[in-house]
Amino acid sequence: MTQHEVIRSLNTGLYINGVWTDPQDRRSFSVEDPSTGEILTTVADAGPEDGIAALDAAVGAQESWAATPPRVRGDILRQAFEAVTAKAEDFATLMTLEMGKPIAEARAEVNYGAEFLRWFSEEAVRISGRYSTAPDGKTRLLVHKRPVGPCLLITPWNFPLAMVTRKVGPAIAAGCTMVLKPPSLTPLTSLMLTQVFHEAGLPPGVLNVVPTASSGRLTERLLADGRLRKLSFTGSTEVGRSLLRLAANTVLRCSMELGGNAPFLVFEDAVLDHAVEGAMIAKLRNMGEACTAANRFIVHESVAADFSGMLAEAMARLMVGSGLDPASGLGPLIDEKSRGKVDALVQDAVNRGATIRTGGASIDGPGYFYPPTVIDGIPPEADILREEIFGPVAPTVTFATEDQAIGLANDTEYGLAGYAYTRDFERVLRLTEAIEVGMLGINTGVVSNPAAPFGGVKQSGLGREGGLEGIEEYLETRYVGLAGAM
Ligand SMILES: NC(=O)c1ccc[n+]([C@@H]2O[C@H](COP(=O)([O-])OP(=O)(O)OC[C@H]3O[C@@H](n4cnc5c(N)ncnc54)[C@H](O)[C@@H]3O)[C@@H](O)[C@H]2O)c1
Ligand SMILES: O=CCCC(=O)O
Average pLDDT in the 85-89 region?
Answer: 98
Nearest CA to ligand 1 atom 3: 257
What is the Å distance from ligand 1's center to 4 Cα?
28
Closest ligand 2 atom to residue 448 Cα is 7
Residue 8, pLDDT > 80, answer yes
pLDDT by residue (tens digit) across 307-343? Answer: 999 999 999 999 999 999 999 999 999 999 999 999 9
Backbone angles phi, psi at 147, to 5 degrees: -60, 145
**Ligand 1 atom having least distance to the Cα of 390:** 40
- Per the structure, the complete domain to which residue 375 belongs is given by 262-411+417-449
pLDDT tens figures, 387-442: 999 999 999 999 999 999 999 999 999 999 999 999 999 999 999 999 999 999 99
Give the atom of ligand 1 at the shortest distance from the alpha carbon of 157.
Answer: 16
Residue 75 has pLDDT above 90, yes or no: yes
Whether 239 and 270 map to the same domain: the answer is no
Does residue 24 surpass a pLDDT of 90? no
Give nearest CA residue, ligand 2 atom 6: 448
pTM over 0.90: yes
Q: Whose CA is nearest to atom 2 of ligand 2?
A: 291
Task: Let me know whether 266 and 198 are in one domain.
Answer: no
Rounded Cα–Cα distance for residues 69 and 201 (Å): 14
Query: Is residue 47 in a domain?
Result: yes
pLDDT over 90 for what percent of the chain? 98
Is 109 close to ligand 1, i.e. is its CB under 6 Å away? no
| Structure confidence at residue 22 (pLDDT) | 87
pLDDT tens-digit series, residues 250-292: 999 999 999 999 999 999 999 999 999 999 999 999 999 999 9
Residue 484's pLDDT is 79
Q: Is 217 in the pocket of ligand 1 (CB under 6 A)?
A: no
- Indicate if 245 and 381 belong to the same structural domain: no
Q: How would you list the strands of the sheet with 417-421, edge to edge?
A: 355-358, 373-376, 393-399, 294-300, 262-266, 417-421, 439-442
ipTM of the complex: 0.97
Give 455 Cα–ligand 2 centroid separation in angstroms: 10
Ligand 2 center to 309 CA (angstroms): 28
Q: 267 with 238, same domain?
A: no
- Distance separating alpha carbons of residues 29 and 42, to the nearest angstrom: 5
* Ligand sitting nearest the alpha carbon of 462: 1
Residue 485 inside a domain? The answer is: no
Establish whether residue 414 lines the binding site of ligand 1, counting it when its CB lies within 6 angstroms of any ligand atom: no
Q: Domain check: are 268 and 242 in the same one?
A: no
Q: Is residue 455 part of a domain?
A: no
pLDDT at 274: 98
Q: Are strands 475-483 and 294-300 parallel, antiparallel or unpaired?
A: unpaired
What's the confidence (pLDDT) of residue 486? 58
Claim to verify: residue 20 and residue 128 sit in the same structural domain:
yes
186 and 294 in a single domain? The answer is no
Residue 471 lies in a domain: yes
Considering only CA atoms, which residue is closest to atom 32 of ligand 1? Answer: 216
Residue numbers annotated as active site: 257
Average the pLDDT over 173-202 and give the result: 98
Parallel/antiparallel/unpaired status of strands 417-421 and 207-209: unpaired
Q: How many domains does the chain have?
A: 2
Same domain, 219 and 124: yes
pLDDT at 70 over 80: yes
What is the structure's pLDDT at 485?
66
Ligand 1 pocket member 231 (CB < 6 A): no
- Do 236 and 278 fall into the same domain? no
Same structural domain, 27 and 153: yes
Q: Is 162 within the bounds of a domain?
A: yes
Q: Is 232 in the pocket of ligand 1 (CB under 6 A)?
A: no
Instruction: Specify if 486 maps to a domain.
Output: no
Best residue among 448, 449, 460, 464 to mutate for probing ligand 2's pocket (most ligand atoms within 8 Å of CB) is 448
Query: Is the pLDDT score of 479 beyond 70?
Result: yes
With a 6 A CB cut-off, is 177 part of the ligand 1 pocket?
A: no
328, 470: one domain = no
When mean pLDDT is compared across 22-26, 239-243, 451-455, the lowest value belongs to: 22-26
C-alpha angle 259-292-321 in degrees, rounded to nearest 5: 105
Cα 288 to middle of ligand 2, angstroms: 11
What ligand 2 atom has the least distance to the C-alpha of 446?
A: 7
In the predicted model, what is the mean pLDDT of residues 214-236? 98
227 pLDDT above the threshold of 70:
yes
CA of 97 to the centre of ligand 1 (A): 20
**Average pLDDT of span 370-389:** 97
Domain containing 76 — which CATH number? Answer: 3.40.605.10
Do the beta carbons of residue 445 and residue 452 sit within 8 Å? Answer: no
Q: Which of 385, 405, 411, 316 is nearest to 356 (CA)?
A: 316
**Sign of the CA dihedral with 468 first, then 67, 74, and 7 last:** negative
Supply the pLDDT for residue 211. Answer: 98
pLDDT range class, residue 354, cuts 50, 70, 90: very high
Sign of CA dihedral 85, 89, 92, 98: negative
Cα 130 to Cα 143: distance, rounded to the nearest angstrom:
5
SS3 sequence of the chain: CCHHHHHHCCCCCCEECCEECCHHHCCEEEEECCCCCCEEEEEECCCHHHHHHHHHHHHHHHHHHHHCCHHHHHHHHHHHHHHHHHCHHHHHHHHHHHHCCCHHHHHHHHHHHHHHHHHHHHHHHHCCCEEEECCCCCEEEEEEEEECCCEEEECCCCCCCHHHHHHHHHHHHHCCCEEEECCCCCCHHHHHHHHHHHHCCCCCCCEEECCCCCHHHHHHHHHCCCCCCEEEEECCHHHHHHHHHHHHCCCCEEEEECCCCEEEEECCCCCHHHHHHHHHHHHHHHHHCCCCCEEEEEEECCCHHHHHHHHHHHHHCCCECCCCCCCCCECCCCCHHHHHHHHHHHHHHHHCCCEEEECCCCCCCCCCCCCCEEEECCCCCCHHHCCCCCCCEEEEEEECCHHHHHHHHHCCCCCCEEEEECCCHHHHHHHHHHCCCCEEEECCCCCCCCCCCECCCHHHEECCECCCCHHHHHEEEEEEEEECCC
CB-facing half-sphere around the CA of 361: CA atoms within 13 A: 2
Question: What's the mean per-residue pLDDT of the chain?
Answer: 97
454 within some domain: no
Q: Residue 177 falls within a domain, yes or no? A: yes
Query: What is the predicted pLDDT for the residue at 25?
Result: 81
Give CA separation, 458 vs 237, 411, 420, 433, 444, in Å.
11, 11, 19, 15, 23
- The minimum-distance atom of ligand 1 relative to the CA of 257 is 1
Q: Which atom of ligand 1 is nearest to the CA of 239?
A: 19
Given this model, what pLDDT does residue 373 score?
Answer: 98
In degrees and rounded to multiples of 5, residue 132 shows phi and psi of: -150, 175
Query: How far away, in angstroms, is 454 Cα from ligand 2 center?
Result: 9
Q: Are residues 106 and 254 in the same domain?
A: yes
Distance from the alpha carbon of residue 34 to the mean position of ligand 2, in angstroms: 20
CATH number of residue 399's parent domain: 3.40.309.10
